[in-house]
Amino acid sequence: MRILGIDCGSERTGFGVIESDGRSHRLIAADTIVTSPKKPLSERLLAIATGLRAAINLHHPEMAAIEGVFHAVNTQTAIKLAHVRGVAMLMIAEAHLPVGEYSPMEVKTSVVGYGRAEKEQVQLMVQTILRLPAVIKSQDASDALAVAICHATRAGYAERVKATR
Protein backbone atom coordinates (compact mmCIF):
# COMPACT_ATOMS: atom_id res chain seq x y z
CA MET A 1 0.00 0.00 0.00
CA ARG A 2 1.18 3.50 -0.81
CA ILE A 3 0.53 6.00 2.00
CA LEU A 4 0.70 9.80 2.06
CA GLY A 5 1.52 11.28 5.47
CA ILE A 6 0.94 14.97 6.18
CA ASP A 7 2.34 17.15 8.97
CA CYS A 8 0.35 20.39 8.87
CA GLY A 9 1.77 23.86 9.52
CA SER A 10 0.87 27.30 8.21
CA GLU A 11 4.49 28.11 7.35
CA ARG A 12 5.83 24.59 6.73
CA THR A 13 3.63 21.64 5.76
CA GLY A 14 5.54 18.42 5.45
CA PHE A 15 4.46 15.47 3.37
CA GLY A 16 5.90 12.04 2.86
CA VAL A 17 4.93 9.05 0.77
CA ILE A 18 5.90 5.49 1.66
CA GLU A 19 5.27 2.06 0.21
CA SER A 20 4.44 -0.48 2.92
CA ASP A 21 3.14 -3.96 3.52
CA GLY A 22 2.47 -3.06 7.17
CA ARG A 23 5.80 -4.43 8.41
CA SER A 24 8.40 -3.20 5.92
CA HIS A 25 8.38 0.40 4.70
CA ARG A 26 10.13 2.10 1.79
CA LEU A 27 10.53 5.82 1.08
CA ILE A 28 8.91 7.09 -2.12
CA ALA A 29 9.08 10.85 -1.54
CA ALA A 30 9.38 13.50 1.17
CA ASP A 31 9.24 17.26 0.95
CA THR A 32 8.08 20.43 2.65
CA ILE A 33 5.72 23.07 1.31
CA VAL A 34 7.09 26.37 2.61
CA THR A 35 4.94 29.50 2.69
CA SER A 36 5.82 33.04 3.70
CA PRO A 37 4.26 34.39 6.90
CA LYS A 38 4.24 37.78 5.12
CA LYS A 39 1.62 36.51 2.64
CA PRO A 40 -2.09 36.55 3.43
CA LEU A 41 -3.35 33.29 4.92
CA SER A 42 -5.56 32.67 1.87
CA GLU A 43 -2.51 32.66 -0.44
CA ARG A 44 -0.61 30.37 1.91
CA LEU A 45 -3.54 27.93 2.01
CA LEU A 46 -3.67 27.95 -1.79
CA ALA A 47 0.05 27.14 -1.97
CA ILE A 48 -0.41 24.25 0.47
CA ALA A 49 -3.40 22.92 -1.50
CA THR A 50 -1.47 23.18 -4.77
CA GLY A 51 1.56 21.40 -3.30
CA LEU A 52 -0.48 18.57 -1.79
CA ARG A 53 -2.54 18.12 -4.96
CA ALA A 54 0.69 17.88 -6.99
CA ALA A 55 2.14 15.31 -4.57
CA ILE A 56 -1.03 13.21 -4.76
CA ASN A 57 -1.10 13.39 -8.56
CA LEU A 58 2.60 12.52 -8.86
CA HIS A 59 2.82 9.68 -6.31
CA HIS A 60 -0.69 8.15 -6.46
CA PRO A 61 -1.14 7.18 -2.79
CA GLU A 62 -3.85 4.66 -1.93
CA MET A 63 -4.52 6.17 1.49
CA ALA A 64 -3.50 9.12 3.62
CA ALA A 65 -2.75 9.90 7.24
CA ILE A 66 -2.69 13.22 9.04
CA GLU A 67 -1.90 14.40 12.54
CA GLY A 68 -4.98 15.22 14.59
CA VAL A 69 -5.61 18.53 16.29
CA PHE A 70 -3.66 19.12 19.46
CA HIS A 71 -4.06 21.82 22.09
CA ALA A 72 -2.06 24.94 21.32
CA VAL A 73 -1.27 27.64 23.86
CA ASN A 74 -1.72 30.39 21.24
CA THR A 75 -5.29 30.54 19.92
CA GLN A 76 -4.25 32.21 16.65
CA THR A 77 -1.76 29.42 15.97
CA ALA A 78 -4.44 26.79 16.63
CA ILE A 79 -6.86 28.52 14.26
CA LYS A 80 -4.25 28.72 11.47
CA LEU A 81 -3.39 25.05 12.00
CA ALA A 82 -7.08 24.16 11.77
CA HIS A 83 -7.30 26.00 8.43
CA VAL A 84 -4.28 24.09 7.09
CA ARG A 85 -5.73 20.77 8.30
CA GLY A 86 -8.98 21.65 6.54
CA VAL A 87 -7.13 22.24 3.27
CA ALA A 88 -5.18 18.99 3.70
CA MET A 89 -8.38 17.05 4.44
CA LEU A 90 -10.01 18.62 1.37
CA MET A 91 -7.11 17.51 -0.86
CA ILE A 92 -7.36 13.99 0.60
CA ALA A 93 -11.14 13.92 0.05
CA GLU A 94 -10.77 15.34 -3.47
CA ALA A 95 -8.49 12.37 -4.29
CA HIS A 96 -11.01 9.95 -2.72
CA LEU A 97 -8.40 8.58 -0.31
CA PRO A 98 -9.30 6.88 2.96
CA VAL A 99 -7.68 8.79 5.80
CA GLY A 100 -6.40 8.01 9.27
CA GLU A 101 -5.94 10.65 11.96
CA TYR A 102 -3.42 10.24 14.76
CA SER A 103 -2.42 12.43 17.68
CA PRO A 104 1.23 13.49 17.89
CA MET A 105 1.57 11.18 20.90
CA GLU A 106 0.20 8.20 18.93
CA VAL A 107 2.63 8.88 16.08
CA LYS A 108 5.64 9.19 18.39
CA THR A 109 4.66 6.07 20.34
CA SER A 110 4.25 4.10 17.11
CA VAL A 111 7.57 5.23 15.60
CA VAL A 112 9.84 5.87 18.59
CA GLY A 113 8.13 3.88 21.34
CA TYR A 114 7.77 6.96 23.54
CA GLY A 115 4.91 9.47 23.18
CA ARG A 116 6.93 12.47 24.33
CA ALA A 117 9.92 11.87 22.04
CA GLU A 118 11.82 14.86 20.69
CA LYS A 119 11.77 15.73 16.98
CA GLU A 120 15.39 14.58 16.61
CA GLN A 121 14.45 11.15 17.98
CA VAL A 122 11.63 10.92 15.44
CA GLN A 123 14.04 11.85 12.64
CA LEU A 124 16.50 9.14 13.69
CA MET A 125 13.81 6.46 13.95
CA VAL A 126 12.34 7.43 10.56
CA GLN A 127 15.85 7.08 9.10
CA THR A 128 16.24 3.66 10.75
CA ILE A 129 12.78 2.34 9.84
CA LEU A 130 13.10 3.43 6.20
CA ARG A 131 16.76 2.27 6.05
CA LEU A 132 17.97 5.65 4.79
CA PRO A 133 21.65 6.62 4.59
CA ALA A 134 20.96 9.89 6.44
CA VAL A 135 18.16 11.61 8.34
CA ILE A 136 15.55 13.55 6.38
CA LYS A 137 16.78 17.13 6.84
CA SER A 138 13.33 18.69 7.09
CA GLN A 139 11.73 17.87 10.45
CA ASP A 140 8.33 18.59 8.87
CA ALA A 141 8.88 16.01 6.10
CA SER A 142 10.29 13.56 8.64
CA ASP A 143 7.23 14.05 10.88
CA ALA A 144 4.97 13.46 7.86
CA LEU A 145 6.81 10.19 7.15
CA ALA A 146 6.33 9.23 10.81
CA VAL A 147 2.57 9.80 10.39
CA ALA A 148 2.58 7.56 7.29
CA ILE A 149 4.59 4.87 9.11
CA CYS A 150 2.18 5.01 12.06
CA HIS A 151 -0.76 4.52 9.69
CA ALA A 152 0.97 1.69 7.80
CA THR A 153 1.78 -0.11 11.03
CA ARG A 154 -1.75 0.22 12.37
CA ALA A 155 -3.43 -0.61 9.06
CA GLY A 156 -1.12 -3.60 8.58
CA TYR A 157 -1.86 -4.85 12.09
CA ALA A 158 -5.62 -4.46 11.54
CA GLU A 159 -5.36 -6.45 8.29
CA ARG A 160 -3.40 -9.24 10.00
CA VAL A 161 -5.99 -9.44 12.80
CA LYS A 162 -8.83 -9.49 10.27
CA ALA A 163 -7.11 -12.30 8.33
CA THR A 164 -6.90 -14.48 11.44
CA ARG A 165 -10.64 -14.24 12.13
97 touches 66 (CB < 8 A): no
Can you say how many angstroms the Cα of residue 98 is from the centroid of all Cα atoms in its chain? 14
Name the residues annotated as catalytic: 7, 67, 140
**90 contact partners, CB below 8 Å, separation of at least 6:** 49
Output b/e per residue, 143-156; b: 16+ Cβ within 10 A: bbbbbbbbbbbbbb
Say whether 117 sits in a helix, a strand or coil. coil
